[in-house]
Amino acid sequence: MIQPTPPRASTAADARNRAIRTAAQGLLVDVVAGVALAVGPALASEHFAWTAPYWAALGLLAAKTAVQTAVAYAARHLVPPPR
């Protein structure tokens, strides 16, 4: 039995879906890295404090996720998948 192919989502909807998925994946990496940045030193030393380098590292991770999401969105518009 031949099954009809489902209709393709519009480019904008597909790009938005990919960007949201990429953002979620990137944020998951950021959270894991943030926990590792906090828990590792906190377990190693009782004098752990959130210093500027820790905040800078978390900020860079968040910026990486924003750039990654924007690239995923733009890439879907510029390079459509093969049919």
| Residue ranges of domains in the chain | 11-78
Question: What pLDDT does residue 76 have?
Answer: 82
Residue 64: exposed, middle, or buried by beta-carbon count in 10 A (0-12, 13-18, 19+)? Answer: middle
Q: Which two tokens stand for residue 72?
A: 């995923």
69, 18 Cβ separation under 8 angstroms:
no
Residue 69: exposed, middle, or buried by beta-carbon count in 10 A (0-12, 13-18, 19+)? Answer: buried
SS3 58: helix
Q: pLDDT tens, position by position, for the chain (83 residues)?
A: 677 766 666 878 888 888 888 888 888 888 888 888 778 776 777 777 778 888 898 889 889 889 988 888 888 888 776 66
> What is the reported pTM?
0.60
Rg (CA), the chain: 19
Question: What pLDDT does residue 5 have?
Answer: 66
Question: What pLDDT does residue 61 have?
Answer: 87
